[in-house]
Structure 1
């Protein structure tokens, strides 16, 4: 791991312990005394103990509040580490795209990481079916548009990774903290710095394309609306399975829209009806009030 001295490394500890054991055996044969042999044996035990601690440190995951912490680097040449926080995605409302038990959620994802970079990160854990990267956590995948007014704003993201088997999530959550993982390889490069700014410049909104996408969206909306109105007209006046007739805006039994004007008319009608049905001078107190 990073920051470990040579004498703490597993290979060095094994090699040194073996040397001390052999030396101790030779000293014991040559001198026949136990003092020197015991000293050499203690050195061997010390290095073996450090070897075991180094092995445990390299293999143990770091878990904070249920999240497994990973150290990652953009490439082999990078000297800066970045931390990711992963755990199994558990939601109250299950989503088809994010199946329970096979979905891993990753926090603090760099805005420069793409779907392929997440696959490189978790290669070896299991087969990955889908990768979703979005700005904030949600109960379902956020549908992305090819045009975004916030594309220039760079901030940490969240990723949802769907494995083929549940073992992929478990293997990912057991990854060791001291094992620094790479986010890129020869085939998957991370665009950052000047290259990232050049890509952002090339992705500036095209007004004509934006207008076409807006027109296509509105055309699809009106098409769905016309189909819904047509379906309501065809079903107007027809009873359902329970024998009830649905009141719609179409057909013979169409209802009245609840607008402010119709509500005012309804209130006026109720007031007139109450005045008409009210009995005047019927009670004694009413007669006394009219005489005043």
Structure 2
């Protein structure tokens, strides 16, 4: 409930809104009862998708619960045009996916929160007054919840999409992308023409367009800058630096002299004449 600490919780404390408990079961065959905790959705930041006075806020929604099952549970109270599922409480709407095959957002998993939108405010009040003695069924013949091997099979089959449908989705995306690029180019051209006062907006598509701001280009620029800095650095500027460089040079020369001596001795031994 941390996501709505500054919204629903604070208003509830001021208004004294009570939270109701609603028992539900997976199906009529199961004996285990799960409890949903619900109240009227009230926040400071309003949203048209979750209208105040017609939206029911529910927490402790189990992982197997779906939008269709919640619609079925509250259909007895009235018309339910929309049900939204979120990982955490929020005043906004779930992100809409542009593509079925290439989703940008992960699906809601595990326990979650739900927002059930009713058509009338009287239907919301009816839902808040539901009888808590008789559990409601989430999975029915009309809207069954698929689980077990059947669910795994459907998830596996969904991973292998139809090539024609994928190609159609890609073509639609590219058409939209080309239109957006064409609009952007047209707007930049209009900006380059100048306004009534003579002011002109400089863009990357001018007479001398700038270089592409890529990662590879940035690395090349940084490498050139590091080389320039090395050239500008003062080496052996102080007296102690000069002495240290001379000592290191002498030590290196002595080591090279000893190595050369060993090489000459080895050559002499290899060329020694042994007639017997």
TM over 0.5: yes
Within-5 A mapping of 1:1-292: 66-138=18-90, 139-144=92-97, 145-147=99-101, 154-206=109-161, 208=163, 212=167, 213=169, 216-237=172-193, 239=195, 247-249=201-203
Q: Partners of 2:100 and 2:113 in 1: how far apart?
A: 19
Q: Partners of 2:69 and 2:185 in 1: how far apart?
A: 46
SS in 1 for 2:81: strand
Which whole-Å deviations, capped at 9, do the CAs of 1:7-50 have from their partners, x for residues lacking one? xxxxxxxxxxxxxxxxxxxxxxxxxxxxxxxxxxxxxxxxxxxx
The number of residues matched between the two structures is: 196
Gaps of 5+ in 2: 1-15, 222-276
In 1, are the aligned partners of 2:204 and 2:210 still within 8 Å (CA)? no
RMSD over equivalenced CA pairs, Å: 3.9
Cα offset for 1:73?
Answer: 0.7
Which whole-Å deviations, capped at 9, do the CAs of 1:217-274 have from their partners, x for residues lacking one? 354234213212213322545549xx795735179899989x888xxxxxxxxxxxxx
TM-score norm. by structure 2 comes to 0.56
Q: Partners of 1:237 and 1:245 in 2: how far apart?
A: 9
In 1, are the aligned partners of 2:60 and 2:113 still within 8 Å (CA)? yes
In 2, are the aligned partners of 1:236 and 1:251 still within 8 Å (CA)? no
Cα offset for 1:137?
Answer: 3.9
Q: Partners of 1:97 and 1:244 in 2: how far apart?
A: 45
SS in 1 for 2:159: coil
In 2, are the aligned partners of 1:128 and 1:164 still within 8 Å (CA)? yes
Q: Partners of 1:93 and 1:237 in 2: how far apart?
A: 42
In 2, are the aligned partners of 1:134 and 1:142 still within 8 Å (CA)? no
Q: Partners of 1:184 and 1:100 in 2: how far apart?
A: 29
Q: Partners of 1:183 and 1:68 in 2: how far apart?
A: 18
Q: Partners of 2:186 and 2:112 in 1: how far apart?
A: 43
Gaps of 5+ in 1: 1-63, 262-292
